[in-house]
Structure 1
């Protein structure tokens, strides 16, 4: 499920949109991890799986970059009480970015599927905690901002399908 909102005509509040984006990212990560579970999982991932992995990494990075440069900046100005939460989330984004760089290095290098799977498993655990915390702390504030004209969230593009 990819979020499908027209940028100019918000059909849902921004907090709800954030949840939809997170659901989509969770699903894509689950698809990636499942794709690495094929027999011979220690072999190098096939080209389509590598492409999907790289697209997912780019989408997640774009989502977090958009939050840091858009939603978090605006929320920090409008809701000063959220600044410590926003700082924690931005720090998480840096940790996630490091993992994404390692995943990209693994899928473009000679590493096997088990190495990629191990990084994706760690990423999944971190993202689940991160997304849950972010949703708990920010959804209400983002929903209050839904009437604004500032594009607060960046929807990631869908990665190419994995051929099986």
Structure 2
């Protein structure tokens, strides 16, 4: 059974789905950072490593875009007191987007493995703080959102990770 479903088949609340997506993104970022630390890991000799990096960047971009245009919009309408928090989180999304652009530019240079790793380290620190703050401030409000507001992809930008070991598709198109 998928962890996002309760025994009666009812979907888990949206806030809990947000946590699942964040866990998946944390795991993918950790896998990517570990891959760059492997002996012989090189963007030149490993197109899969480059594809994984670009796939992660694309998934994180979709997630934040989904939140900005979906969940944050819905929460701003339903919970006006959250608007300052949502504005802060949207600003974080812009900072993350800048880091992701730098990572994407760096991956074009096959000798930039160390620079990519340094950017990923900074991204990991920022995302940990961002995800924790977002979860603390929004999970309860998201759990109160009913299904008529939209599905996980519409509101959070990406589908829930599949049961088992969700991984990035090396082509950067999503999970495999």
Q: TM-score, normalised by structure 2?
A: 0.81
Aligned counterparts of 2:101 and 2:56: Cα–Cα separation in 1: 12
Aligned counterparts of 2:112 and 2:93: Cα–Cα separation in 1: 26
Q: In the alignment, which residue of structure 2 is the partner of 1:155?
A: 158
Determine the C-alpha separation between the residues in 1 that align with 2:57 and 2:111: 17
Residue 78 (structure 2) pairs with residue 78 (structure 1): yes
SS in 2 for 1:36: helix
Q: What is the CA–CA distance in structure 2 between the aligned matches of 1:150 and 1:140, rounded to whole Å?
A: 17
How far apart are residue 153 of structure 1 and its match? 1.8
Shift of 1:3: 7.9
Per the alignment, residue 38 of structure 1 pairs with 38
8 Å CA contact retained: 1:75, 1:82: yes
Q: Which residue of 2 aligns with 1:138?
A: 138
What is the CA-CA distance between 1:10 and the residue it aligns to?
Answer: 5.8
Matched with 2:104 is: 104
Instruction: Encode CA deviations 1:133-156: one digit per residue, 9 max, x unaligned.
Output: 000000000000034342322225
Shift of the alpha carbon at 1:40? 4.6
Q: CA deviation at 1:32?
A: 0.2
Q: Equivalent residue for 1:89?
A: 89
Q: CA deviation at 1:38?
A: 1.6
* Deviation of the 1:110 alpha carbon: 3.6
Structure 1 residue 65 corresponds to structure 2 residue 65? yes
Q: CA RMSD in A?
A: 2.3
Normalized against structure 1, the TM-score is what?
Answer: 0.87
Note the residue ranges of structure 2 that are not aligned, 5 or more in a row.
Answer: 162-166, 172-176
Question: Counterparts of 2:3 and 2:48 in 1: how far apart (Å)?
Answer: 23
SS in 2 for 1:126: helix
Kindly state the Cα deviation for residue 71 of structure 1 after the two structures are TM-superposed: 0.4
Would you say how many aligned residue pairs link Structure 1 and Structure 2? Answer: 157
Distance in 2 between residues matched to 1:66 and 1:129, nearest whole Å: 19
